[in-house]
Chains A and B, each alone.
Chain A
Amino acid sequence: MIGNDIVDLALAKKESNWKRTGFLEKIFTSKEQVLISNSENPEIMVWNLWSRKEAAYKIYNRQTGIRGYIPIQLECNYENADSGSVHCNGNIYYTKTEITKEKISTIAVSQKSDLKEIKELKSTVEIHKKNGIPYINDINNASKPVSISHHGRFISRVSIID
């Protein structure tokens, strides 16, 4: 399964004040807060960890059908700026993050080897939704999970290659 998330850094700066009292404590575990405060660029670390949590949440949501605001339950295991895993109530999701000047995007998968098998969907591909969760019909008419994320100037629609 797959989940993704994009953060438009310019829009994030406009929409969120991560330095606001209480903000980090509501979203990040104490271990993650240490990563942020020790980081050379705390703002990038905030959105890096955030996008991992959101991408992982999308898989968790599809797998369990649970909807909730659970940032603290989505615990990041940070290996380096572009890879790691997110743990949530006994589940593990593997993440790959890409950071540019403009944006941070993370893809999460439930099976680690799938990280090498990600494709961006063509804009012509038709996406359907069931209970708000997106999927496509593949050539055999079987439904296949896709993940969508948009923020500010960016959009990404991804799936795992067959």
Chain B
Amino acid sequence: MNREETLEQLKEIIKPYTNNELAFDNFTADTDFIADLNINSANLVDIILDVEDAFKIHIDNESMEKMLDVKSTLEIIETKLSEK
């Protein structure tokens, strides 16, 4: 899977939790889940669980710490996929 495909898949995962349509339309690696997409912090857990299911990876607490924006989330997904 290349970065574009991972990004697309992540975007699909995040869509239902977004509270800011306009920012979602401009989704990039720099998008922040809370500051830009206005995602409720309880739904961050859902995103993490959805990412685990979709990519069949396990996200440990240390990785979870950084999952507040698209860029860090992509990096974590890629690292975990490469370790498989």
Contact = CB atoms under 8 A, between A and B. Distances in A.
Contact of B49 (A12, A23, A73): A23
Interface in B32-82: 35, 40-46, 48-49, 52, 61, 64-68
Contact of B45 (A23, A68, A70, A73): A23
A16 interface: yes
A128 to B, nearest CB: 17
Nearest to B45: A26
A68 B49 contact: no
Main secondary structure of the interface of B (DSSP, over half): helix
Contacts of B42: 12, 15-16, 50
A65 interface: no
Contacts of B67: 69
Contacts of A26: 45, 48-49, 61, 64
Interface residues of A, number: 21
A140 to B, nearest CB: 31
B46 A69 contact: no
Given A22-B52, A54-B41, A132-B35, A16 B46 contact: yes
A20 B49 contact: yes
B61 A15 contact: no
B80 to A, nearest CB: 15
Contact of A16 (B35, B43, B61, B65): B43
Contacts of A20: 46, 49
7 contacts: A12-B42, A21-B49, A22-B49, A23-B45, A27-B45, A69-B64, A151-B40
